[in-house]
């Protein structure tokens, strides 16, 4: 059900009105499959749906759909940008994970991404070395290069703070 709500939210961002055929196309399922799920979502008061009409999310349906969409985007971004997983694989994995991870864990993923990108001891250089490590395996030269990089940063910070 959550995948359908997420798909409808995403389609609403792209189109003025969402139809059964739009959902079927987006999800790669048949129109009768979509119709069946829409009936269930309507019974659960998550969508407003009448046969041959546009689909509209209720407030509750939109809230759930947006939360699933947020989870999906955050997890995909973490998998692709931080861990360096291929985009298509990250998309599939995020779809599986979005339903299982708790809100607090997801928030920690987001915090970690923000930390890496903004903290002086982390930053995009840190990610570059991590991606090299993934490509080459545990390579002493790569690890030593990263250790030197961190040592240089720590020395600069120490000079700025302590003044030695």
pLDDT digits (tens, 9 = 90+) for 72-82: 999 999 999 88
Measured at the CA of 29, the angle between CA 98 and CA 53, to 5 degrees, comes to 100
Kindly tell me the burial class for residue 71, based on how many C-beta atoms sit within 10 Å of its own C-beta (0-12, 13-18, 19 or more).
Answer: buried
> What is residue 124's predicted lDDT score, i.e. its pLDDT?
67
State the pLDDT at residue 22: 94
pLDDT of 6 over the 80 cut: yes
Choose the weakest-confidence range: 17-21, 110-114, 138-142: 138-142
Q: List the single range of 7-11, 34-38, 44-48, 116-120 with lowest mean pLDDT.
A: 116-120
C-alpha closest to that of 51 among 65, 38, 62: 38
pTM, two decimals, is 0.71
Count the alpha carbons within 13 Å of 49 in the hemisphere toward its beta carbon: 24
Higher-confidence position of 139 and 147: 147
Round to whole Å and give the CA distance between 53 and 130. 50
Q: In angstroms, what CA-CA distances link 99 with 46, 69, 89, 143?
A: 17, 11, 17, 36
- Report d(CA 42, CA 57) in Å as an integer: 9
**pLDDT at residue number 119:** 66
Average pLDDT (104-130) is: 75
Residue recorded with tokens 């739009």: 22
The whole-number pLDDT of residue 18 equals 94
Neighbouring C-beta atoms of residue 59, cutoff 10 Å: 9
| Mean pLDDT, residues 106-132 taken together | 73
Q: Give the integer Cα–Cα distance in Å for 118 and 112.
A: 10
Residue 7 burial (CB count, 10 A): 22
Provide, rounded to the nearest whole percent, the portion of the chain with pLDDT above 70: 75
Residues β-bridged to residue 57: 47
């Amino acid at each position: 059900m959550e995948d359908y709500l997420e798909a409808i939210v995403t389609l609403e961002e792209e189109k003025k009105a969402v139809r059964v055929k739009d959902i079927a196309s987006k999800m790669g399922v048949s129109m009768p499959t979509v119709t069946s799920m829409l009936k269930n979502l309507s019974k659960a008061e998550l969508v407003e749906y009448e046969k041959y009409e546009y689909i509209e999310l209720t407030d509750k349906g939109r809230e759930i759909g947006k939360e699933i969409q947020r989870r999906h985007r955050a997890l995909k971004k973490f998998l692709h940008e931080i861990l360096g997983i291929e985009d298509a694989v990250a998309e599939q994995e995020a779809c599986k994970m979005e339903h299982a991870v708790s809100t607090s864990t997801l928030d920690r993923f987001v915090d970690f991404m923000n930390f890496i990108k903004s903290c002086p001891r982390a930053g995009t250089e840190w990610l570059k070395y991590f991606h090299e490590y993934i490509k080459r395996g545990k390579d002493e030269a790569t690890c030593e290069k990263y250790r030197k990089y961190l040592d240089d940063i720590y020395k600069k910070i120490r000079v700025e703070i302590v003044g030695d």
